[in-house]
């Protein structure tokens, strides 16, 4: 049997979670190598000049693939004939699915940036910067809820089958929930809450719930 792919991941990473769920739904075997990308001994910079994970490594030493949205594209295109499509299947539908992935990743970025700023000493923090990032998170949540409401009773935002759009939304909202940024969001967005709750009960989502790691080095 050929050696499996390796995904450099981190236990709390909403970005890597998207890729782990896509691989699992497609039934593609892969190994997870957990890293703490913020620590000096991480191998992450060896494979991505941006020093970020997730990163997909190949057993034959082909150049790695990085950036979570790009890895999602790699998975759906490379394994188009394996398991569920994870895309609507028509050009416009596919582009919309990728747009929703981009929105999900942007929401995760804003969440991470606000989180790091809040970790600084109070006197070093920029409240305006925090507010700016949180505004993006709130805007994304409103947009996610709009997509769910527009689905009008369909089980997934872009149709009857799960797609990378659903994976993106559930991972972004899961990340917000994980850090506790918006307690009570479920009451504000009941449609989004019901939808995420339903996705979170699927095995692939249960198996990848975020787990915090312990950063021992000073980051900012
Ligand atoms: N745009 C990137 C963002 C990934 C990202 O920020 N990953 C975090 C871990 S969850 C990371 O590796 N951060 C290290 C750093 O920013 O130096 C993606 O979508 O893959």
Could you tell me which residues come within 8 angstroms of residue 95 by beta carbon, excluding any fewer than 6 positions away? none
Mutate to test the pocket of ligand 1, among 20, 52, 210 (most ligand atoms within 8 A of CB): 52
The string of pLDDT tens digits covering residues 64-101 is 999 999 999 999 999 999 999 999 999 999 999 999 99
Query: What's the gap in Å between 124 CA and the centre of ligand 1?
Result: 23
Q: Which atom of ligand 1 is nearest to the CA of 54?
A: 20
pLDDT of 191 > 80? The answer is: yes
CATH of domain 91-206: 1.20.1050.10
CATH 3.40.30.10 occupies which residues in the chain? 5-78
pLDDT for residue 149 is more than 90: yes
Alpha-helical regions (H) of 36-189 = 44-47, 68-78, 91-119, 127-150, 164-179, 185-188
Q: Is the pLDDT of residue 145 over 90?
A: yes
pLDDT on residue 2: 76
Q: What is the pLDDT of residues 23-80, one digit of tens each?
A: 999 999 999 999 999 999 999 999 999 999 999 999 998 999 999 999 999 999 999 9
pLDDT range class, residue 104, cuts 50, 70, 90: very high
Contacts 24+ apart (CB under 8 A), 94-101: 96/158, 96/165, 97/158, 97/163, 97/164, 97/165, 98/69, 98/73, 98/164, 100/147, 100/157, 100/158, 100/164, 100/165, 100/168, 100/169, 101/18, 101/69, 101/72, 101/164, 101/165, 101/167, 101/168
Write out the residue limits of the CATH 1.20.1050.10 domain(s) in the chain: 91-206
In this prediction, residues 100-119 reach a mean pLDDT of 97
Using CA atoms, how far residue 210 sits from 18, 60, 186, in Å, is 11, 30, 19
Task: State which of 9, 33, 53 you would mutate to test the pocket of ligand 1, scoring each by most atoms of that ligand within 8 A of its C-beta.
Answer: 53
**Where residue 1 falls among pLDDT bands split at 50, 70, 90?**
low
Q: Supply the residue whose CA is at minimum distance from atom 5 of ligand 1.
A: 52
| Spacing, Cα 52 to ligand 1 middle (Å) | 4
Q: Which atom of ligand 1 is nearest to the CA of 50?
A: 17
According to CATH, the superfamily of the domain at 5-78 is: Glutaredoxin (3.40.30.10)
Q: Which residue ranges have their beta carbon within 6 Å of ligand 1?
A: 10, 13, 15, 37-38, 51-54, 67-69, 105, 112
Q: What is the mean pLDDT of residues 159-164?
A: 96
b/e code 43-81 from CB counts within 10 Å (16+ = b): ebeebbeeebbbbbbeeeeeebbbbbbebbbbbbeebee
Judge whether residue 16 has pLDDT over 80. yes
Report the pLDDT averaged over residues 135-147: 98
Q: 11: exposed, middle or buried (C-beta count within 10 Å: 0-12, 13-18, 19+)?
A: middle
């Amino acid at each position: 049997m050929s050696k499996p792919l390796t995904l450099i991941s981190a236990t709390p990473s909403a970005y890597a979670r998207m890729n782990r769920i896509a691989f699992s739904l497609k039934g593609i075997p892969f190994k997870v190598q957990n890293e703490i990308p913020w620590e000096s001994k991480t191998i992450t910079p060896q494979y991505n000049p941006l020093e970020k994970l997730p990163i997909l490594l190949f057993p034959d030493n082909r150049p790695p693939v990085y950036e979570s949205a790009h890895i999602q594209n790699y998975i759906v295109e490379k394994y188009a004939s394996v398991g569920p499509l994870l895309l609507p299947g028509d050009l416009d539908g596919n582009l919309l699915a990728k747009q929703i992935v981009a929105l999900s990743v942007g929401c995760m970025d804003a969440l991470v940036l606000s989180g790091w700023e809040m970790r600084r000493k109070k006197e070093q923090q920029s409240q305006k910067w925090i507010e700016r990032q949180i505004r993006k998170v709130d805007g994304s949540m409103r947009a996610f809820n709009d997509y769910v409401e527009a689905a009008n009773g369909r089980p997934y935002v872009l149709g009857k089958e799960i797609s990378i759009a659903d994976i993106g939304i559930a991972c972004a909202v899961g990340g917000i929930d994980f850090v506790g940024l918006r307690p009570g969001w479920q009451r504000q967005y009941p449609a989004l809450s019901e939808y995420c709750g339903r996705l979170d009960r699927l095995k692939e989502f249960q198996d990848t719930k975020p787990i915090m790691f312990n950063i021992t080095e000073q980051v900012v």
